[in-house]
Amino acid sequence: MSRVGLYMGMASKDVFRLWSATQLQVIIIAGICLPILLLLGLKNGHVADLREELATSPTGRQVIFWAARDGALLSDGVIENIRESVGNVDVIIPESQKLVFGSPVNDDSGEELAQPQEEVPITLYSTLPGDPLLMQFGVNEISGEQLEVVLSEAAVKKLGVEVGSHLDVRLTRKLGADREEHFLEFKVVGVLPSREQGEGQTTGYAHIETLENLDRYTAGDAVAAWGIPAMSGRAASDVYESMLVFCFRGGGTELSTDDISFLESRGLEVQRLDEGPELDLFGTLSKGALDELVTYRLNRVSWEDPGITPIRDSTQLIVRNTQAEDDLALRWVDPVKVKINGVPHALVGLSLPTKRETGGWLNTYMEKTGRRFTFQQSVDNPCQILFPASSPMNGEAELLVETAGGDKIPLLNSTSAFVASLQDETGETAVPSTSPDVDDSVIAEDGGGGSQESAASTSADKLSQVVAGDDLAAAGASSEMPIAIVPVTLLSFLEQLDSGVVKYDSGSRRFIDVPSAVDFTKARLYTDTIDDVPEAVEWLAEAKYAVLSESSRIAEIQEQDQSLQILVLVVALGVFVFGVITVFSVLVDSTDRKKGTIGILRVMGMSRFGVFSIVLFRAFVIGLLAAVLCIVFGFALAEFLRLDVADTAALGWKPTISVMINPIDALLIAFGALLCASLGAVVPALRASGLDPFDAITEGQFG
């Protein structure tokens, strides 16, 4: 056995050998530590009572904030930034509300539910899975895809439904002269007590995606999740970055210097074309047109926006404000490379005036069989296409255009109708000429062609130059990519589609503007604990948001907690010092009475360190016993003070007091008891170890 083990064993035996003295010392130390333990328990209980209402209610962790004068609107990116910056955030729920009208439907059993006299108006509020407001009533998950709703008791009562029932919701929207009505079926997944929503309030909660879709529906946009197309008034507008201007050659009929200056002042770059397929509109104009007409290209100039920069001026304004006589301005988009039923094509947009429209003189120079669309056809249905007569696509009943971005758009093959219209005009069967609009992919120079064949060959070569800059090999096409004619409006929409400005709505079969992301002005934020609320409020206030929360009450509770902690610390320090002095006095007296024993141990060969260790270890054991006694009595008294004995006559005088002793507090008090006993024993142990053995025996025998 080691010396330290021997000393510890002797100290332990000494504790129980002198049990009467030990009891007194244990009681003294336990009596010193017990009031401190109860003070900590009372402080914790008082603070817990103050926090109980806030801690158990979702509103305690709730921070409602909204974009005031300087606060940013709550987009998805802003909300994510708030979540990351604030920290300790449980969930952020953007707030939105919508008024709908509901009525019950048959349940799964087929039994008819009680029908109200009229539809019930329901105000729907937004929520998300994990919403603490709903979780307190057992609703943990709510789906947006399945159209689920949580209703107030008043709404459930008026509708005559229950959890698991289904609800018909009528939606209406109006845009201009158009008015639409749709019905959706919601499933009731929970009921909120009336005290939460107010007596008689017919309200409900639905997933935020449902509220966003309701906003899109009201605005007239398409709601793909519900299979509802966009309203006709939501059709996108065609925009153009370029125009072609045709003027007669010579004299005062061309664009003058003043005309060019005017156009440049409108932000347009003027370029006179001497070559390129635009000169004859890809073979639509005869060769004589090249000799008699001058072609200019107008491009929008912008140094700010790298995307689509449309020309704001109309073609009529351009023509009306230039000095050139009988000039004609056409909206223009460069050919677009696509796949039609998997076959690469170059789409050329040609929308030209009829003979009776302004600029109709251009028809004088048009090839009779040249494919093109009229202005009205382009407006009525942009999704049309004309193929050359020899194109194998003419036999396709269904045409699907796939853009470079992967979008797929169905097109109407109008080739047969176009040929029929030519036959009606001439009274003869139209025989297409070998121009590139007929079949530019199979043009052959036979050396004996007339003017049309020559123009066709030139246009085909120029078209190859236009589209050959793209990676045609990647598209599976040769440099002689076949072309097809479409309304110029379609090319405009395809450009906007590629830029993400518009999208194709298959339900209404039209291009519509991409709905802007829904930005919210108000949201509910829930922190992990109520102690995190003040930090969240401070951050949101610095970000210029208006804030509503229980932060003032929470801050007051935290201040009281800190004040009580300081009070307990001051009292504990005073009691602890008093305890050390008391233990010191008791152990000094005990040591003096055991001088004889100490002297004998020293004569027997025990070192000074051994005497010091025995006295200190004995004090440590006494402190340990005192800690156990203090904790046992502390928990017993805490339980007694918490008991409600108002009905007991003998204990009717006792108030019910909340006392909460945390395990950490108990360990802290146990450590304090050990420290108190050990510090009080240091000086007596030093004195005992410093005694002369013979003097100690003499003083112990005759003292």
Tell me the per-residue pLDDT of 120-158, one tens digit each, with 9 for 90 and over.
999 999 999 989 988 888 888 888 788 999 999 999 988
pLDDT at residue 457 in the model: 40
Residue 197: how many other CB atoms lie within 10 Å:
20
Strands 203-207 and 120-127: parallel
pLDDT at 694: 65
Written as one string, the DSSP assignment of 413-439 is E-HHHHHHHHHHHHSS-----SSHHHH
Note whether 30 and 623 are within 8 A (CB).
no
Last residue within a domain, chosen from 434, 468, 500: 500
Residue 199, φ and ψ in degrees, nearest 5: -60, 130
**Residues 46 and 75 reside in one and the same domain:** no
Give the helix ranges, DSSP H, for 279-390: 287-292, 315-320, 375-380
> Are 264 and 384 in the same domain?
yes
**In which residue ranges of the chain is pLDDT below 50?**
109-110, 112-116, 303, 306, 429-479, 701-703
Does 533 lie in the same domain as 493? no
Distance of CA 475 to the CA centre of its chain: 37
Instruction: Kindly state whether residue 201 falls inside one of the protein's structural domains.
Output: yes
The CA distance from 215 to 223, in Å, is 10
- pLDDT at site 463: 45
Report the pLDDT value the prediction gives residue 567, as an integer from 0 to 100.
Answer: 86
Six token digits for residue 21:
């003295």
598 close to 696: Cβ distance less than 8 angstroms: yes
Same domain? 569 vs 670: yes
DSSP string, 74-95: B-HHHHHHHHHHH-SEEEEEE-
With beta carbons less than 8 A apart as the criterion, state whether 534 and 104 touch: no
* Residue 434 burial (CB count, 10 A): 24
Q: Is residue 507 domain-resident?
A: no
- The model's pTM: 0.65
Same domain, 311 and 449: yes
Residue 237 forms part of a structural domain: no
542 and 568 in a single domain? The answer is no
Regarding whether 165 and 100 lie in a shared domain, the answer is: yes
Is 330 found in the same domain as 449? Answer: yes
User: Which residue pairs from 557-563 have beta carbons closer than 8 angstroms and sit at least 24 positions apart in sequence?
Assistant: 557/47, 557/50, 557/51, 557/54, 558/531, 558/534, 560/46, 560/47, 560/50, 561/43, 561/47
Give the number of domains in the chain. Answer: 3
Model pLDDT, residue 71? 65
Q: Which domain holds residue 533?
A: 63-230+518-549
Residue 63 confidence (pLDDT) = 92
Query: What was the pLDDT predicted at 500?
Result: 86
413 and 295 in a common domain: yes
User: 248-295, pLDDT tens digit by residue?
Assistant: 988 778 899 999 999 988 889 999 998 888 888 888 888 888 889 999
- 648 found inside a domain: yes
My answer on whether 129 and 190 are in the same domain is: yes
Identify the domain boundary among 527, 549, 571: 549
Position 236 in a domain: no
Beta-strand ranges (E) seen in 442-564 are 483-486, 502-505, 510-513, 522-527, 545-549
Regarding whether 272 and 247 lie in a shared domain, the answer is yes
Q: Please indicate, yes or no, whether residues 312 and 436 belong to a single structural domain of this protein.
A: yes
**Is residue 506 included in any domain, yes or no?**
no
User: Would you say residue 212 lies in a domain?
Assistant: yes
**Domain assignment present for 428:** yes
Query: E strands of 307-342, at which residues?
Result: 328-332, 336-340
For residues 203 and 155, the answer to whether their CB atoms sit within 8 Å is yes
